[in-house]
Structures are given as C-alpha cells and as structure tokens.
C-alpha cells in the first residue's frame, strides 16, 4: 500500500495555514535520496548528480540538493538564471539543451557551465557565438531501438535528440581543432524506467563508445553523463528501483569496459529529476463537488493546470483520501478538475473509499514534472509550493499565483490595475 509522507493529523494542520490546492515537498525524503544516490556511486571518484531543474524548478529545493553535493542540469535561460541565483556556477552546472537559442548558449558560457551539445551543427553555432570551451560534452543518439534483455524500452531512432555515431567521431575531431581538450558523452535513451538494468545497459553502450572515440579521435574523455530516466513506482504494485544495485551494475560495466582501456579515471555524472523528487512531493486538494450522472464524479479544487501528467500521458497518480486510509475502496469515481477539457481527470474509474465534500485528497508522486508542467489554461492560477521540513514545520517556498500575476503581461495597458 502506498502511504503519503504526511499523516492526516499533520495535513489537517497544514491546510489551516495554506489553502488547497498546493504541492507539498518532503525535505527529509529529498535528502535521503540524494545520500543514497551518492552512496550508490561512491566507488567513482568524480561522481556528481546534476539535478534536472526542469523537474522541480524551485530555488529552495535546489538549495537542499546543493547542500547534499548536487549540481544542476539546466536546459533554458531562466533555469540558468535560477541556478545562478542559488549560487551554482562553473562545473556545478550542466547545460543540456536542444534547439538552443543563441542567448541561452551565451548565458551558459558566461556562467562557465559545462555545455552539452545536442547536435553537430551546434559546434559552429556555439563557436561563432562564444568560441569552444576547453571542456565540452556531446549528446549521443544510437538510433534504432533501445532494448534491455530483449524488451524494447524506447525508440531513439524516432527521437529528436543527439548526434549519430559518425557525427560523434567527426564532432570530437572538429571540437579538438577548435580548442576543446576534455570531453563528455551524454545520452538519455528511456524515460521513467523502473528496472535496475537501465543505467547499467546505457552505461555499457556509452563506455564502449568512449573507448571507440578515444581510439579514433585521441580525445580525452573526462566524464560520461547517464542523464535522467531512472523511474519511480507510480502504481502501488510497482517495485522501487534499487539504486545501490544500479550503482553496482554501472560499476561492473565500468570495470569491464573502461578500466581495461586505461580509462579508469572517467567521472560518472547523472541528471536525475524524477527519481530524486518524484516521491518526495504530493498535490494536496480538497473535494468540492460530487456529481451523479452516467458515472460518479468527484470534483476537486486542483485541475490539470496543477498536474498535467494524467491529462497529457494518461499517467497514473495514486490517490489517498486522508483519514480514510483503512476504509474499503468500494466506490468507483472519476476524479476531475475544473478545466473545460474532458481529459482533466486525475483518475478514471478509480476505486476509492466513499468521498465526502471537504475530504482532503493527496495525489502521490507529484514532486517531479508536477508543478513545473503547470500552465494557465482557462485562466487557472498556479498553486503554492510548501516544504515539509525535517523538523516537522512547514515553509512556503512559492506563493500561489494571484489574478495580478495572471494579468501581469498586460501591465502596459492600465486595464487591469484594479486587480
């Protein structure tokens, strides 16, 4: 059974202070995951996790991760700015973008971030803007299908990202000619994987590529970035990834492929978002309407603008009706938000305890790609974000949007001054 990281008693107090809906984050859980990840890769001297800012772009969260020794993975101008404001700089920042605007590259270069190029043509683009730095990374796309022991995980051949194998070789040669001295290899081949084999399988592919690149181009490979993609069990019957086993699997590939090639000094990087934060956040909402037509509906005060994954991917988010954890799940509901879109359903045909108006519903695992995918459709406002601290107190780490925020981009008109 999935249990929220907050008890009903705690939550009843929290909602007295912060009106629903809001995203709640668990500081203790975040620190624990960061420490376990460090432990899993402690065998690698240069190991570093670059937290994927896009998963939860909140400076208070980034600060916690910074205290745990993490860097940040940015993909846009504002993510770079937020990281800068939090005190990240230089090699604390990985800039893994694609279809990158010139000003983003310029800002990344200004911060001396490590730039991870998404395409061969970006070599000339970057060179003409700011020159080629001594340390640079390239994103690899092996094409075809990506399988783990005969199970197809994803389809890199259809993905827009990265260099082909031939482009990696030509790219490293070209970059060396333009002054690059230390190289990274990056790839992200499957998302939200819950097998312990994802990183080890990916690592072996990248390690073999690293050996080939070194042989064919003479480049010094300084790091290999396994990027994101380690998943979490959104459903109660799914298994948690064993991160220590994952670290061991990568170590085995490292010792079998890199060490014999005289490359035992290569640093391993990760850019985990979902794994680090997903289970450490939840969306807290209140049941505000019930509707009995051809189906039974519960309307809550959150909508897809606060959590887009169910509407966008049909994603499952477990729901706990607070205070009714021990009651039988003998009612079948669609749990909906208020957007004028029929896909604004957090759950369809979900068996839950009988829900009464005013009940608090917790949507699990919204800590990554939750708040951050929010939007303002239907004029809905983004919610607050609240941090449950290690000592049990709470801190507002983002206030809820107000109508004034929504109208802010019309501030030149004078029309909305009254709000």
Ligand X SMILES: *Cc1c(COP(=O)(O)O)cnc(C)c1O
Of the candidate residues 76, 227, 336, 366, the single one contacting ligand X (CB under 6 A): 227
Of the candidate residues 68, 73, 301, 344, the single one contacting ligand X (CB under 6 A): 73
- Which range, of 145-153, 203-211, 221-229, 354-362, touches ligand X by CB under 6 A? 221-229
Question: Contacts with ligand X in 15-54 (CB under 6 A)?
Answer: 52, 54
Contact yes or no for 322/337 (Cβ under 8 A)? no
Assess 273 for contact with ligand X (CB under 6 A): yes
Of the candidate residues 172, 188, 207, 223, the single one contacting ligand X (CB under 6 A): 188
To the nearest whole angstrom, how small is the minimum distance from the Cβ of residue 318 to ligand X? 18
Distance CA 116, CA 188 (A): 12
The nearer residue to ligand X, 198 or 207, going by C-beta atoms, is: 198
CB neighbour list of residue 56: distance below 8 Å, 6 or more residues apart:
25, 273, 277, 281, 367, 368, 370, 371, 372
Assess 350 for contact with ligand X (CB under 6 A): no
Instruction: Decide the pairing of beta strands 182-186 and 151-154.
Output: unpaired
Q: What angle do CA 12, 13, 18 make, to 5 degrees?
A: 95
| In the complex, residue closest to ligand X by CB | 228
Pattern 78-117, binding to ligand X, x per CB under 6 A?
------------------x---------------------
CB neighbour list of residue 294: distance below 8 Å, 6 or more residues apart:
none
Q: Which residues pair with 137 in a beta bridge?
A: 116, 184
Does a cis peptide bond (omega within 30 degrees of 0) precede residue 45?
A: no
Assess 76 for contact with ligand X (CB under 6 A): no
How many CA atoms within 13 Å lie on the side-chain side of 108? 32
To the nearest whole angstrom, how small is the minimum distance from the Cβ of residue 214 to ligand X? 24
To the nearest whole angstrom, how small is the minimum distance from the Cβ of residue 405 to ligand X? 26
Pattern 365-384, binding to ligand X, x per CB under 6 A?
---x----------------
To the nearest whole angstrom, how small is the minimum distance from the Cβ of residue 288 to ligand X? 31
Give φ, ψ of 399 to 5 degrees: -75, 160
Question: Contacts with ligand X in 280-339 (CB under 6 A)?
Answer: none
Residue 182 backbone zone (phi > 0: left; psi -120 to 50: alpha; other: beta): beta
Burial 11-33 (b: 16+ CB within 10 A, else e): beebbeebebbbbbbbbebbbeb
To the nearest whole angstrom, how small is the minimum distance from the Cβ of residue 225 to ligand X? 8
Assess 191 for contact with ligand X (CB under 6 A): yes
Residue matched to tokens 């009714």: 324
Assess 279 for contact with ligand X (CB under 6 A): no
To the nearest whole angstrom, how small is the minimum distance from the Cβ of residue 293 to ligand X? 37
To the nearest whole angstrom, how small is the minimum distance from the Cβ of residue 96 to ligand X? 4
Site size toward ligand X (CB under 6 A) is 17
Q: Length of the chain in residues, anyone? A: 419
The DSSP output letter for 230 is B
Distance CA 27, CA 209 (A): 38
Assess 153 for contact with ligand X (CB under 6 A): no
Assess 274 for contact with ligand X (CB under 6 A): yes
Contact yes or no for 249/195 (Cβ under 8 A)? no
- Which range, of 16-24, 172-180, 212-220, 226-234, touches ligand X by CB under 6 A? 226-234
For ligand X, the binding residues (CB under 6 A) are 52, 54-55, 73, 75, 96, 188, 191, 227-229, 271-275, 368
């Amino acid at each position: 059974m999935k249990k929220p990281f907050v008890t009903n008693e705690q939550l009843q107090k929290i909602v007295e202070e912060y009106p629903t809906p809001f995203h709640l984050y668990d500081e203790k859980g975040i620190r624990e995951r960061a420490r376990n990840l460090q432990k899993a890769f402690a065998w690698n001297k240069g190991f570093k996790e670059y937290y994927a800012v896009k998963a939860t772009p909140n400076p208070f969260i980034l600060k916690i991760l910074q205290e745990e020794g993490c860097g940040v993975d940015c993909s846009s101008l504002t993510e770079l700015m937020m990281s800068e404001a939090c005190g990240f700089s230089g090699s604390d920042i990985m800039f893994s973008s694609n279809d990158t605007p010139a000003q983003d590259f310029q800002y990344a270069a200004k911060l001396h971030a490590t730039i991870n190029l998404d395409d061969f043509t970006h070599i000339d683009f970057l060179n003409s803007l700011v020159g080629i730095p001594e340390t640079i990374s390239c994103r690899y796309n092996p094409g075809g299908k990506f399988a783990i022991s005969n199970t197809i995980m994803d389809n890199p051949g259809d993905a827009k990202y990265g260099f082909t194998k031939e482009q990696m070789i030509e790219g490293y040669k070209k970059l060396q000619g333009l002054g690059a001295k230390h190289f990274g290899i990056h790839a992200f081949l499957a998302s939200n994987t819950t097998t312990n084999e994802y990183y080890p399988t990916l690592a072996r592919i990248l390690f073999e590529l690293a050996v080939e690149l070194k042989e064919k181009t003479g480049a010094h490979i300084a790091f290999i970035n396994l990027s994101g993609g380690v998943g979490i069990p959104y459903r109660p019957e799914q298994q948690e990834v064993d991160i220590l086993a994952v670290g061991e699997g990568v170590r085995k590939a490292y010792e079998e492929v890199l060490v014999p090639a005289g490359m035992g000094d290569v640093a391993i990087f990760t850019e985990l978002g979902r794994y680090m934060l997903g289970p450490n956040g939840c969306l807290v909402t209140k049941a505000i309407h019930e509707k009995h037509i051809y189906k039974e509906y519960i309307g809550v005060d959150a909508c897809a603008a606060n959590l887009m994954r169910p509407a966008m991917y049909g994603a499952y988010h477990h729901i706990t009706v607070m205070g009714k954890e021990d009651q039988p799940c003998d009612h079948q509901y669609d749990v909906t938000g208020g957007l004028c879109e029929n896909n604004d359903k957090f759950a369809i045909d979900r068996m839950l305890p009988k829900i009464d108006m005013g009940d608090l519903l917790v949507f699990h695992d919204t800590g990554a790609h939750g708040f951050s995918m929010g939007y303002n459709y239907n004029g809905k406002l983004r919610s607050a974000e609240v941090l449950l601290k290690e000592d049990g107190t709470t801190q507002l780490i983002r206030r809820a949007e107000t109508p004034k925020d929504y109208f802010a981009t019309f501030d030149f008109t004078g029309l909305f001054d009254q709000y």
